[in-house]
Structure 1
Amino acid sequence: MDVYESALDLIGGTPLVRIRTGGAAAVYAKLEYLSVGGSAKDRIGLRMIEQAEKDGLLRPGGTIVEATSGNTGIGLALAAAEKGYRIVLVVSDRVSAEKVDTLRAFGAGVVVKSSGLPREHPEHPISFAARLAETTPGGWLANQYDNPANPEAHYLTTGPEIWRQTEGRVTHLVSCIGTGGTISGAGRYLKEVSGNAVQVIGADPASSVYSGGDGRPYFIEAAGHFVHPDTTRDVWPTSYHLDVLDRIVPVADRQALDTLRQLARTQGLLVGGSSGTALAAAHRVAAAAGPDDVVVVILPDSGRQYLSKYFNDTWMLRLGFLDGDETAARVADAVPEGSDASPLPYVNTRADIAEALAVLRARALAGADPVLPAGPCPAGPERRPMAPELTGSVSLSAVEAALLHGTAAPSDRLADHLEPPLPHIGYGEPVEEALARLARHAHDTAVVLRDGCAQALITSSGLRAALPTPR
């Protein structure tokens, strides 16, 4: 049995395991979740701290501050625990509960901020963390997005490990792009040592701007690049070295989630969402590769961090990522035909009260329920909004009452007068469950989601119409 002096000696050194694909090329997964802190970010957490110590930026008794989707925070927190630093981590409200609990277990202070804010907003997690580091005595901002120690950690460790483990036979490296550090560092090493023979392929959520998407929200944590519609300038991390990549493969959320759930059930490997994205891309790469090729895919973290999300059937059903039991009455059976092709009615929160009122009155005249979801969606109604974009709702009765009582003016921003969001129900959910949930809300209208995307509006009467007729 190997014996180590501290947990820091257990960072990295992760194994490769063969993935069954049915194709000619060999595919090996690098199981980064077997690092001591549970992810590839252990490597950069330690490296960034050690470099900051060397540069005199982090001194004994200092406080580490960082904005994180969880894994980098865990890597920093375990190193901080061993080295005796205080640490405060800023996360968004979309980070899994398991990650937040893990951060606190390591003794980190955790500050939760809204994910629905543009980067420039002072309460955005990155902006808040930067300000917190500046105002904390002895504070040091790790700044993983722009810290050169991030890609350097993978250049010095991950890349060499892959080269040694494959005995120099690796031909393709597939990795998700988040901060860009993993693929930039490991990819650069493998290109240099192979004489530029190794192809480096990025895996990216389909709506992420890295792969050419429009930057809308997605449901895979710790991957891709989201752009809030109110962002004035899109800033990419300097840890991401685009020149290292040969190409990028976009992967839809559903495919990523199906892939990671299938991997757990067929090979006993429990991995996270970004791993599902990377593996789905690796399958495509391997399908086009030959029998002499060796594809290595980096699986960044464990599925144990997402048991309440990606491996929870209730969560999956409510967001429309599962089709449900087709032999029973489902929400899908109640959705009007043609909803897939017709625009979803909603009101952009950039509108004023007068614009919203005109839309609502037109719907009332057409006999439709005069309540609509609202959100800061960047495109017109032909682009179906994702669930996180629908941040509120607006009803005809509430708007007219506000105007009548003088609590709102026609020129007011709609964003300042929103009601709570309409309930979301999933395409594959049983009708009975959807009805029970809808009954607990103020409005009798719900948004139907498919693959996390708003597909249609439906009322309780529409849902009941899908129930079998009693005999």
Structure 2
Amino acid sequence: MTIAANSLDLIGNTPLVLLKGPSEATGCEIWGKCEYANPGGSVKDRAALYIVRDAEANGSLRPGGTIVEGTAGNTGIGLALVGNALGYKTIIVMPDNQSAEKMATIRALGAELVLVPPAPFANPGHFVHTSRRIAEETDNAIWANQFDNIANRKAHIFGTAEEIWDQMDGRIDGFTCAAGTGGTIAGTGLGLKAKRADIVVALTDPHGAGLYNYYQCGELKPEGSSVAEGIGQNRITANLDGAPIDTQFRISDAEGLAVVRQLLDEEGLCLGLSSGINVAGAMALARQLGPGKRIATMLCDSGFRYLSTLYNPEWLASKGLGGPT
């Protein structure tokens, strides 16, 4: 058994699981990093801890201070837990179209939750800009700025990549995941390529995001839409800047949902849509690289965080989707 000196030591060192169905379908080994095993239930715990520790180290976050952030939810949950453990208050700004489970969790953790209507990034009312203004107006507060604070991707350079490399005994041919802030794919990609430059790093992009076209033809051009929460980006954030992307795939919600359903029905894994999109991307990368390769991806969070949406037949029907039943 692993013994932790404190709750923050529980962040990271998540298990890696072989995904039987996707592996058999592609003739490759496809491995999923079980980020739902973090104490806050998602990969975003890693960035939350690094961002807070970095702010403490540079003196911007002082005792009794407040952490403010704009988020689709998971980073807010991670920041609230880290803040509680270290004695900080937390204010979280979220679009009001995210899952009710995330909102309830943030409130249950004691954070102040500010909901705003969804808006384009160019709109001053966007959740990121709103959170920045609140931080500026709050005494002894920091703005976590997860999109452009590269402490985010450092969490994956020095944490996630090292773990995957060790867990796979250095025998890894490819890594892929979607981008929200860009911290996970950029940081993990940079960390893995520092180990071996020929590891293929692939972006798996949902519809509605512009990065697929950016890495394919140099133009930030979004196409279609997605109901996936926390992924999809239409600008090059500081965390994405310099990301070592070798190839890219675009995955539809329907394809991601089919993978979610398969993993639940056949392997007992209850996951969110971003995880289904990531695994579908890993399967696409496997087919591109050919049989016998070993590929890792991120299982970002649990499906239990989306019972009112992804696992609700009425909600799915309202979005024109079938899904887990």
Structure 2 length-normalised TM: 0.93
The answer to whether the aligner puts 1:52 opposite 2:55 as a matched pair is: yes
Structure 1 residues 119 and 243: CA distance shift in structure 2, 3 A:
closer
Per-residue CA deviation, residues 229-288 of structure 1 (Å, 9 max, x unaligned), is: xxxxxx431111354111111011111122112211111111111111111111111223
Secondary structure at 1:89 match in 2: strand
Structure with more contact order per residue of length (Cα contacts < 8 Å, sep ≥ 6): 2
**Higher share in helix:** 2
- Could you tell me how far apart the structure 2 residues matched to 1:80 and 1:207 are? 33
Residue pair 1:133, 1:141 contacting (<8 A) in 2 also: yes
Secondary structure at 2:203 match in 1: strand
Identity %: 39
Secondary structure at 2:175 match in 1: strand
Residue pair 1:32, 1:298 contacting (<8 A) in 2 also: yes
The answer to whether the aligner puts 1:33 opposite 2:36 as a matched pair is: yes
Residue pair 1:24, 1:289 contacting (<8 A) in 2 also: no
Residue pair 1:10, 1:35 contacting (<8 A) in 2 also: yes
Residue pair 2:94, 2:113 contacting (<8 A) in 1 also: yes
- Could you tell me how far apart the structure 1 residues matched to 2:75 and 2:285 are? 28
The answer to whether the aligner puts 1:273 opposite 2:273 as a matched pair is: yes
Secondary structure at 2:201 match in 1: strand
Aligned residues: 314
Partner residue of 2:201? 200
Partner residue of 1:222? 230
Residue pair 1:120, 1:127 contacting (<8 A) in 2 also: no
Matches within 5 A, 1:29-428: 29-115=32-118, 117-194=119-196, 196-212=197-213, 213-214=221-222, 217-225=225-233, 235-322=235-322
Secondary structure at 1:91 match in 2: strand
- Could you tell me how far apart the structure 2 residues matched to 1:238 and 1:301 are? 24
- Could you tell me how far apart the structure 2 residues matched to 1:94 and 1:257 are? 19
Matches within 5 A, 1:5-20: 5-20=5-20
Letter in 2 for 1:304: F
Partner residue of 2:216? none
Secondary structure at 1:244 match in 2: coil
Structure 1 residue 207: Cα displacement: 2.7
- Could you tell me how far apart the structure 2 residues matched to 1:123 and 1:214 are? 21
Secondary structure at 1:288 match in 2: helix
Higher mean alpha-carbon deviation, 102-111 vs 209-218, is at 209-218
Residue pair 2:207, 2:224 contacting (<8 A) in 1 also: no
Structure 1 residues 153 and 70: CA distance shift in structure 2, 3 A:
same
Residue pair 1:89, 1:111 contacting (<8 A) in 2 also: yes
Residue pair 2:153, 2:187 contacting (<8 A) in 1 also: yes
Per-residue CA deviation, residues 81-133 of structure 1 (Å, 9 max, x unaligned), is: 10010100000011100011111111110000000x23243322111111100
Runs of at least 5 residues in structure 1 that lack an aligned partner in the other structure:
227-234, 324-471
Per-residue CA deviation, residues 201-221 of structure 1 (Å, 9 max, x unaligned), is: 111112310112525542111
- Could you tell me how far apart the structure 2 residues matched to 1:27 and 1:120 are? 38
Secondary structure at 1:130 match in 2: helix
Runs of at least 5 residues in structure 2 that lack an aligned partner in the other structure:
214-220
Secondary structure at 2:317 match in 1: helix
- Could you tell me how far apart the structure 2 residues matched to 1:107 and 1:243 are? 35
Residue pair 1:61, 1:86 contacting (<8 A) in 2 also: yes
Letter in 2 for 1:63: T
- Could you tell me how far apart the structure 2 residues matched to 1:101 and 1:270 are? 20
Structure 1 residue 290: Cα displacement: 3.5
Higher mean alpha-carbon deviation, 58-67 vs 305-314, is at 305-314
Per-residue CA deviation, residues 292-336 of structure 1 (Å, 9 max, x unaligned), is: 31011111111111111111111112221129xxxxxxxxxxxxx
**Runs of 4+, deviation exceeding 6 Å:** none
Secondary structure at 1:87 match in 2: strand
